[in-house]
Structure 1
Amino acid sequence: MDLNLVRTFVTLYECRSVSAAARRLHVTQPTVSYGLARLRERLADRLFVRARNGIRPTAVAVQLYPALSASLVAIDDALEQGHRFDAARSTRRFVIALSDLGELTLLPDILAAVESSAPGVRITVVALDVERVAEDLARGDIDAAICSRRLGRDDLERRQVLCERYVGVARGEHPRIGDTPDLAAFLREHHVRIDAGSGHGLAEEVLADSDVQRKMRLTVPRFSSLPTLIGRSDLLAIVPAQIAARFVRDGGLRMFELPFHVPRFDVALYTHAAGQASAAQRWFAQTVLSAARAATRDAVGSA
């Protein structure tokens, strides 16, 4: 199939609009419509039908998209190997895996950095799954991931974003927890924790090694719900210091040092190894790394 037709199909699928697809491809709407007509004839299906706010894909289009999109990325990568990536003109889509903590603290700066130098580039954020993220990277399903779990694979490149530590958080007017609670007072309270799938289970492992358990009232999948939950209850939580400082600033919570030692941990950016990454992926990795490090410096400076 003509490569331009593949690109037209993928862009129509992602934009769900002929006019938006034309803008992204830097062509006229009649050109996109002509390409769609050729695709329909070639594939013997309407592919896209009119919808309230544009177009929607048919079942055949939904089935075709993953393979055609992946093929287009592979072709673009092959063409870019050994060549300079023209960020200012690119319309490429990059995929990054982030926890909701990463979305809250790092994504705004990453987006701003990409928009400033590559206004046509698109970013898709997928939920971080620490059990499969290494395989997703190795297969090329994602271009980058930021997480605290160490991914021990030789085909991935690891670059530190920051060194973090865990602290406790409580509502500002908690009746029993002060600025320096001892372990007994800490363990008497009920707690809310983030699901271990987020990769933030180190504090729990330390307590388990000492045969100590917190009284868990609630387990949630995301950090973003904690300010409301803690602010309206007497629950305690263990969170990274950077997000705790944000909760204190924005949500009226109070931060305190944990009454037991938890080792510091690294938050790192994982990407394809340099020798396996395309010019585009190398540009994206460096842009994300610089933006994420800047975001953490700003957060520390304002805490």
Structure 2
Amino acid sequence: MAQVDLNLMRTLVMLYETGSVTQAAEQLHVTQPSISYALNRLRELFDDRLFVRTARGMEPTTVARQLYPSLKEALRQISDTIDGSRHFTPERCKLRFRLALTDLGEMSLLPAILKSFYAQAPQAELEVVPLEIDKAREWLTTGKVNAVICSRTLGGAGIDKHVLLEDRYVCLLDRQGGAVDDLSLERFIHGRHVSIASSSGHGLVEEVLTQRGIERKVSLSLSHFSVLPQVLQGSDLIAILPLQIAARFADARLKVHELPFTVPGFEVALHWHAQPRSAASQRWFCATVTDAVTAAQRA
């Protein structure tokens, strides 16, 4: 085992995380035959199939599941040690960083992040991953993403966070279709509502409604917030969304209304997987995102 090529271990970890020979090859910047060759060597090394091809992709065996956590952590420590031993210069960085965001985050935060990111590291790459809140903690711990920006706290060992901004929920209605000056609780209950998928992480209002026993009629379910301006105009639909975005959407046709019941405000935070000795590139990335959003909020 002392002579084992670390690239084999990287292949095993990447196959586990992607479940795909094609995606593993893309992430490791090698050919698909190279991945297949490495997998054959791994199978000989561990005397196990490790991955079985199914309709859902490459499914790991029990042995692969046992190997993955230790190998992932070992590779992370090696990477951190190498990265920490040399001076990190953003202007020379050619790494790809992955940031998980909702569509609201893309609209409100991404422009400022991109401006700062490319100003400092013009050769680096940034991949925006659509946020799936139930997978966010796993993505951080497995290294699928460098960081997550969301409004739900991602508790758990090794997860750190930095609060970027505070916000609260409001309603958005068409000025003519809604035809109200103040949104009463009765109007809210009897109105027709737009519901946004819980995978966005914005489920606080639903929790409050359930606690208070308030039921609303959901007439339209959407995956994202960004289409709301087009959907609401000319309709009597009611949408609930963060104030910062609602204020962007509000215009001559759409009006912001306060919720007719109390919902606590919330924090939007940057989350990342902390290590005793984090890689310099990771520290730079998190600091860049934090500084860019903070500066944009102050502007």
In the alignment, which residue of structure 2 is the partner of 1:203?
A: 205
Distance 1:155 1:92 in 2: 23
Match of 1:55 in 2: none
Query: 1:82, CA displacement in angstroms?
Result: 4.5
Matches for 1:60-71 after TM superposition, within 5 Å: none
- Which residue identity lines up with residue 201 of structure 1 in the other structure? G
C-alpha contact (below 8 Å) 1:113/1:291 kept by paired residues: yes
In 2, the alpha carbon distance for the partners of 1:149 and 1:184 equals 29
Gaps of 5+ in 2: 11-22, 38-57, 59-67
Which TM-score applies when normalising by structure 1? 0.73
The match for 1:20 is: none
1:197-221 deviation digits (Å, cap 9, x = unpaired): 1111111111111111111101111
Q: 3-state DSSP class of the match of 2:133? A: coil
Partners of 2:208 and 2:36 in 1: how far apart? 60
Q: Does 1:100 align with 2:142?
A: no
Partner of 2:243: 241
Residues 6-31 of structure 1 deviation map (CA, whole Å, 9 limit, x = unaligned): 9xxx9x957x9xxxxxxxxxxxxxxx
Contiguous gaps of at least 5 residues in structure 1: 17-35, 46-62, 299-303
In the TM superposition, residue 242 of structure 1 has moved relative to its aligned partner by: 0.4
Deviation per CA, 1:212-252: give whole Å up to 9, x if none.
11111011110111111111311011100000011015x84
Q: Verify the 8 A CA contact 1:82 1:279 in the aligned structure 2.
A: no
What count of residue pairs does the alignment treat as equivalent?
A: 251
Specify the code of the residue in structure 1 equivalent to 2:211. D
Q: How far did 1:78 drift?
A: 3.8
Provide closer, same or farther for how the CA distance between residues 156 and 174 of structure 1 changes in structure 2, counting only shifts above 3 A.
same
Instruction: State how far apart, in whole Å, the 2-side matches of 1:263 and 1:294 are.
Output: 25
Q: Tell me the C-alpha RMSD between the 2 structures.
A: 3.3
Local SS of the residue matching 1:275: coil
What is the CA-CA distance between 1:292 and the residue it aligns to?
A: 1.8
Residue in 2 that maps onto 1:127: 130
**Which residues of 2 match residues 24-63 of structure 1 at below 5 A?**
none
In structure 1, which of residues 154, 161, 170 is the aligned counterpart of residue 173 of structure 2?
Answer: 170
Who is 1:88 aligned against?
91
Q: Percent identity between the aligned chains? A: 38
Q: Distance in 2 between matches of 1:188 and 1:105?
A: 31
CA distance in 1, matches of 2:35, 2:196: 47
Specify the SS of the correspondent of 2:140: helix
- CA distance 1:44–1:170, shift in 2 (3 Å): closer
Tell me the distance in 2 between the aligned counterparts of 1:40 and 1:125: 24
Residues 178, 235 of structure 2: 8 Å contact kept: no
Mapped to 2, the partners of 1:41 and 1:193 lie a distance apart of 45
